[in-house]
Amino acid sequence: MSQAEEKVKEFARHTYGTWNRQNAWTNPLLIVDAEGVYFYDAKGKPYLDFSSQLMCSNLGHKNQAIIEAMIRQAEKLPYIAPGFANEASMAAVEALRSVMPEGLDKFFFSTSGTEANEAALKIVRQCKFPAYKVISRYHAYHGATIASVTFTGDTRRWFAERARCTVQGVRFAPDVYCYRCPFGLSYPGCNVQCARYLDYMIKEEGNVAAVLVEPVVGTNGRLVPPPEYYPIVRQICDENEVLLVADEVMSGWFRTGKAFALEHWGVVPDVMTTAKGCTGAYAPAGITVTNEKVARFFDEEFLVHGHTYAFHPLVMSAIPAAVAEYKKLMESGLPQRASKHLRRRLYELADRHECVGDVRGIGHFWGLELVKNRKTKEPFNVKADKFTSKELMTGKVAADAMQRGLYIAAWYDNLVIAPPLIITPEQIDEGIDILDKSLEIADRQAESTGVPASRTSDFFHQDD
């Protein structure tokens, strides 16, 4: 065993691996470098980053403009308490106002998407008191802390509940999940019941302060709604005097083709959270932004929230540089061309592989849902399998792809295709060719039905 391998094992022995059994956290892969759309292990082997790490490295690796901005700030003022103004934070606010949806212009800065959501929920409950309930959705993921995991619909919430690490007042609504409609309906004859049902929930529950959504559901499937969905949700919230909160932590920062996903449907939330790509993932930032109506409430009310590292100048320095890089990149037209190419190649991939039940997504934000049987939609795995010792089919496919030099994030039923926005069509082809081989593992256990893969996004797909 080399000295480097010994150090990795020693590191693993003294750290907790995230979202993992600790007996599986014994020999993590050592990564020593990254550039562009690739990262490299200690042996120099390259891996094509097909998921932007955790859907955050939107600008790829080693963007010099962001690195240089952070170096300049580190040399000038690496930290000052949040009770002071600093030039980096002022520049960040100015840059953000140039890309934010109109009307969202009062900011709080933290260090993660989880913290951004915590801030949003405190703000919502304080300004809507005595209303306190928040409606989320079953396929949501909003963070890992006590409050944010309570608002999470997936299996990670189950374990927090067992440990009594949750807050009160959360209700879950049906998802906008056309491939597996919770109402057993089909678009467009469904009348978008998944949106309209929110009105029934709000009226029956009472004391509802907010509806919390991921505009395009992230980890849990890249669920893209039909065009009527968010306008209906916005109208329902307005009629019931309920705030609409949009979690754009994963779907923001041009991941879907626009700065923020809700812009595809012409809807502006009352509160928005974002993180991940706001610095290109070069520094840990979380952003909570509100409209004027919410902001005015706190003119005379005490905002009971804050962090030591809020408005951290070193973190803030990355935001204006990232915003400028996004604008330059989008003006080049590369992301638009690449996203159309990615869509076409994923559809071709689904046509070749019986294991692909549904292809859905938008921009650089796609999912392949794997199934045993396309006709019945029987899955290989279900939610409850995620935190058991059962080997997941998506995990097998992702592990094989990794061996072949392709990094792709996997959840219990879907693969996350979310490459950096700087990826070229040729690099997309490189990734698709590897995935083409790895999907054969699932094909061997899939049943032949003669039914084509679904393309639910095609019912209402926006131009990328």
Whether residue 211 sits in one domain with residue 156: yes
Counts for the chain of helices (H) and strands (E), in that order: 16, 16
Q: Determine the Cα–Cα distance for residues 425 and 415; give it in Å rounded to an integer.
A: 20
For residue 358, is it within any domain? Answer: yes
Please give the C-alpha separations between residue 373 and each of 181, 347, 443, in angstroms, as whole numbers.
Answer: 17, 18, 10
241 with 311, same domain?
A: yes
Burial of residue 454 (number of CB atoms within 10 Å: 0-12, 13-18, 19+): buried
Question: How far apart are the C-alpha atoms of 450 and 453, rounded to whole Å?
Answer: 9
* pLDDT score recorded for residue 464: 44
Q: Are residues 336 and 323 part of one domain?
A: no
**Segment among 255-269, 334-348, 381-395 with least mean pLDDT:** 381-395
Calculate mean pLDDT across residues 4-16: 90
Judged against a pLDDT cut of 60, whether residue 462 lies above it is answered with no
Is the Cβ–Cβ distance between 277 and 289 less than 8 Å?
no
> Residue 9: CA atoms inside 13 Å, Cβ hemisphere, count?
6
**CA distances to 209, 273, 438 from 241, in Å:** 8, 20, 49
For 416-455, how does the pLDDT look when each residue is reduced to its tens digit (9 = 90+)?
A: 999 999 999 999 999 999 999 999 999 999 999 989 999 9
| Residue 382, domain CATH | 3.90.1150.10
Measured distance CA(156)–CA(161) in Å, rounded: 9
Report the C-alpha gap between 184 and 298 in whole angstroms. 44
pLDDT of 461 reads 60
Q: What is the mean pLDDT of residues 309-326?
A: 98
pTM of the predicted protein model: 0.94
Domain edge (last residue) among 329, 356, 382: 329
Residue whose structure tokens are 């920062």: 253
> Total structural domains in the chain?
2
The answer to whether 101 and 265 have CB atoms below 8 angstroms apart is no
> Could you give phi then psi for residue 170, rounded to 5 degrees?
-110, 135
Residue 294: φ, ψ to 5°: -65, -45
- Residue 44 shares a structural domain with residue 116: no
Among left, alpha and beta (phi > 0; psi -120 to 50; other), residue 216 is: beta
Query: Same domain, yes or no, for 55 and 68?
Result: no
Whole-number average pLDDT of the chain: 94
Position 211 in a domain: yes
Among residues 195, 198, 161, 162, the alpha carbon closest in space to that of 177 is found at: 195
Whether 92 and 231 map to the same domain: the answer is yes
For residue 203, being part of any structural domain is answered with yes
Query: Could you give the CA distance from residue 253 to residue 216 in angstroms, rounded to a whole number?
Result: 13
Mean pLDDT of 97-102: 97
Cα(66)–Cα(74) distance, integer angstroms: 12
Question: What is the pLDDT, as a whole number, of residue 23?
Answer: 86
Whether residue 313 is found in the same domain as residue 378:
no
Closest by CA to 138, choosing from 156, 120, 159, 160, is: 156
Is 464 part of any domain?
no
What is the secondary structure of 154-173 as a DSSP string?
SHHHHHHHHTT---S-EEEE
The 10s digit of each residue's pLDDT in 152-194 is 888 788 777 777 777 889 999 999 999 999 999 999 999 999 9
In whole angstroms, how large is the CA radius of gyration of the chain? 22
User: Last residue of some domain: 304, 329, 354?
Assistant: 329
pLDDT, tens digit, 9 for 90 and up, residues 251-285: 999 999 999 999 999 999 999 999 999 999 999 99
Answer for the pair 192, 229: CB distance below 8 angstroms, yes or no: yes
pLDDT at 31 over 80: yes
Among 202, 198, 182, CA closest to 190: 182
DSSP state of 279: G
* Side-by-side strand order, sheet with 271-274: 104-110, 286-291, 271-274, 243-247, 208-213, 133-137, 170-173
Predicted confidence at residue 390, as pLDDT, reads 86
Range of the domain at 53: 3-62+332-459
- Work out the percent of the chain whose per-residue pLDDT is above 90: 84
- Could you tell me if 375 and 428 lie in one domain? yes
Q: Is 359 helix (H, G, I), strand (E, B) or coil?
A: strand
Q: Which residue has the tokens 């606010």?
A: 93
For residue 82, say if its preceding peptide bond is cis, omega within 30 degrees of 0: no
Q: Which two tokens stand for residue 308?
A: 């030591």
What are the tens digits of pLDDT across the range 112-126?
999 999 999 999 999
The verdict on whether omega for the bond into residue 452 sits within 30 degrees of 0, i.e. cis, is no
What distances in angstroms separate CA 459 from CA 109, 132, 414, one per listed residue?
37, 36, 20
Last residue of a domain, one of 311, 329, 347: 329
Residues 187, 68, single domain; the answer is yes
CATH at 282? 3.40.640.10
Is the residue at 142 inside a domain? yes
- Percent of the chain, pLDDT > 70? 99
Q: Is 402 part of a structural domain of the chain?
A: yes
Asked whether residue 382 is assigned to any structural domain, the reply reads yes
Beta carbons of 106 and 272 less than 8 angstroms apart: no
Do residue 400 and residue 434 come from a single domain? yes
279 lies in the same domain as 179:
yes
Specify the pLDDT at position 459.
Answer: 64
CA distance linking residue 179 with residue 224, whole number of Å: 11
The pLDDT of residue 196 is 98
pLDDT of residue 151: 84
Task: Tokens for 284, please give them.
Answer: 């840990």
Whether residues 337 and 324 share a domain: the answer is no
Min mean pLDDT across 113-117, 149-153, 220-224 is at 149-153
Three-class secondary structure of residue 62 per DSSP = coil
